[in-house]
Amino acid sequence: MTESGTIDDTLAELIEDFDVLEDWEQRIAYVIDLGKDLAPLPEADRLEANKVPGCAAQVWLASGQDGDRLTFRADSDSAISKGNVALLLKLYSGRPADQILAFDAKAALDRLGLPQALTRQRANGLNAMVGRIRQEALAAE
């Protein structure tokens, strides 16, 4: 899933999408819809090593490299967690490690209002997903 433009361009598009939605029920439904668009994660990637600890649901996050760009594949057994990881993949997948590490995910997610719309456990899981992506970027540098 490679996005065109910069990571900030993708964030701006997400902000526009979120701002059009009237309430948090619609926003969570939008996030769930993002998850429905994720390509199925191959069984070979559903390894214990690819599980993201700290998530309310099972979340698998696999990574690879295409030149200097990191690519991510993910899945979850929960619709909300799958949507959350799909949103993160829109932001991060196909980006160089330095761009991933320079991006302020907390500020971006706060701007979208996502952590406030989630239970504490799901918000912690979202942070764990971001942490895992950043770990992969650090390892790739």
CATH number at residue 71: 3.90.1010.10
Give the chain's domain count.
1
The DSSP secondary-structure symbol of 20 reads H
- Residue span of the structural domain in which 59 resides: 7-140
Out of 52, 55, 85, 108, the active site residue is: 55
Quick check: pTM over 0.75? yes
pLDDT given at position 4? 59
Evaluate whether residue 1 is within a structural domain: no
Q: What is the pLDDT of residue 2?
A: 43
Q: What is the mean pLDDT of residues 41-64?
A: 94
User: Does a structural domain hold residue 63?
Assistant: yes
Whether the CA torsion 122, 55, 88, 31 is positive or negative: it is: negative
Q: Is 55 a catalytic residue?
A: yes
Q: Is residue 42 part of a domain?
A: yes
Whether the Cβ atoms of residue 57 and residue 78 lie closer than 8 Å to each other: yes
| Helix and strand element counts for the chain (H, E) | 7, 3
